[in-house]
Structure 1
Amino acid sequence: MMLGWVLLAAGLVLLLLAQRIRGSAPRGLTQGAAVLLAVLGALLLLRRPGSALLPGHGPRRWHQP
């Protein structure tokens, strides 16, 4: 769970850093990496076993009838 928060925070920091970069190619690369890190962090946070946000995870599992 901690890794998800770290990746999410790193993505947000990179997005803020990308605003200071002047060239369009380096800015695009930095923004792409930032979004990738933020999405990976968010997925890790949502996929933890105790989460009720996603079906099929948690104490009550859905089964095909």
Structure 2
Amino acid sequence: MDNIIHLQFTDPIIDEFEAFVDKTAGLKTIAFKYFGADSDKAADYLNIERLGSLKSTDKIDEFQV
């Protein structure tokens, strides 16, 4: 039985957030699109711990996602 299929599950919301250069604006956009404009719910979903200290120049590697 060598007919095993390996699926890679990616989350489109996380992929969309990672594509943003301006992480603060990206978080607000994702909150509006998927979480009824609730930035706290979006931050919880994305596991962002430093929401208050996000800067527009932050890169994805500088905080935990």
Report which of the two has the higher share of helix: 1
Does the alignment reach a TM-score above 0.5? no
Q: Which has the larger radius of gyration?
A: 1
| TM-score, scaled relative to structure 1 | 0.28
**Higher RCO, Cα 8 Å, sep 6+:** 1
